[in-house]
Amino acid sequence: MSHEPAAPNAVAAHAGHDAHPHVNYFAIFIALCVCTGISILLDLFESQSLRWVIVFLVISVAVAKAMFVLTYFMHLKFEGNWKFIILLPTTILAIGLMVALTPDIALHYYTPDVPQVHQDAPAVPAPAADHGHGH
């Protein structure tokens, strides 16, 4: 998900906040609204078979929105290469954390049985609950 290092060094060399070229911020705002609309529309889909595709699309839309904000609102497109020095370590650590946590989802070393979940029976108390082990 790394952004293209398209930042022109000529611009970056000027440094400072006055060097930002003009951006059509309103267009970015509209793009963000459209993205939000797309994620809400995707929520209305009720397809069992395409569920994971839709989940992927929803996350992709979120990443796209994040890139819009980072690139234009936070001016990363116009910053020098220092942005990689600062953001790369934190990104690697953040992704590393997610990767490290993934086995908890995918590789259960324990039986993923949940006593609270009613697998078959609709109710937990048996019909013979009358002679329960109460007081």
Is residue 116 close enough to count as binding another protein by CB under 8 A?
A: yes
Is the CA virtual torsion 22, 28, 29, 30 positive or negative?
Answer: positive
Restricted to residues 36-75, the positions that interact with another protein (CB under 8 A) are: 36, 39-40, 42-43, 45-46, 48, 51, 54-55, 58-59, 61-62, 65-66, 69-70, 73-74
- Which of residues 105, 110, 111, 120 is near another protein by CB under 8 A? 105
Residues 28, 18: Cα–Cα separation, whole Å = 20
Number of other residues whose CB lies within 10 A of the CB of residue 63:
12
Q: Which of residues 11-30 bind another protein (CB under 8 A)?
A: 12-13, 15-18, 20, 25-26, 28-29
Taking the C-alpha atoms of residue 58 and residue 15, their distance in angstroms, rounded to an integer, is 36
> Going by C-beta distance under 8 Å and a sequence separation of 6 or more, which residues neighbour residue 132?
125
> How many residues make up the chain in this entry?
135
- Residue 4 CB, shortest distance to another protein, in Å, is 19
Residue partners of 9: CB distance under 8 A and separation at least 6: 80
* Contact set with another protein (CB under 8 A): 12-13, 15-18, 20, 25-26, 28-29, 32-33, 36, 39-40, 42-43, 45-46, 48, 51, 54-55, 58-59, 61-62, 65-66, 69-70, 73-74, 79-80, 82-83, 85-87, 89-91, 93-94, 97-98, 101-102, 104-105, 108, 112, 114-117, 123-125, 129-130, 132-135
